[in-house]
Amino acid sequence: DSGVTQTPKHLITATGQRVTLRCSPRSGDLSVYWYQQSLDQGLQFLIQYYNGEERAKGNILERFSAQQFPDLHSELNLSSLELGDSALYFCASSVGTPNTQYFGPGTRLTVL
């Protein structure tokens, strides 16, 4: 158990819908990262937050957004969902940068 929690574990929804994925980092970790893993693209970095502030953006689509709250949990919002958004979404956290990143169990999103 990494200490990083993600909810929900599974999510099935329809094209065009909007969903929110939630992540709670390990106690004391200030950095939160979101990653997407799909069969065709592999693992990709989406976005990083540090202590509530956006620190870096990767291959995040404009239809996706994220935020980190004062209690350090983070949410990833995916809107206007397409079939190609079906993937595993991982959250990771670390105490600072660069540092070991601890991964949550992931949320499996299926868009039908």
Partner 1 sequence: KNEVEQSPQNLTAQEGEFITINCSYSVGISALHWLQQHPGGGIVSLFMLSSGKKKHGRLIATINIQEKHSSLHITASHPRDSAVYICAVSWVSGGGADGLTFGKGTHLIIQP
Site for partner 1, rule CB under 8 A: 2, 31, 33, 35, 37, 42-48, 50, 55-56, 58, 88, 90, 92, 96-103, 105-106, 108
Cβ distance to partner 1 smaller for residue 33 or 64: 33
Cβ distance to partner 1 smaller for residue 42 or 70: 42
CB 109 within 8 A of CB 86: yes
Extended strands (E) in the chain? 5-7, 10-13, 19-24, 31-38, 42-50, 53-57, 64-68, 74-78, 87-94, 102-103, 107-111
- Shortest distance (Å) from residue 13 CB to partner 1: 19
Cβ distance to partner 1 smaller for residue 14 or 39: 39
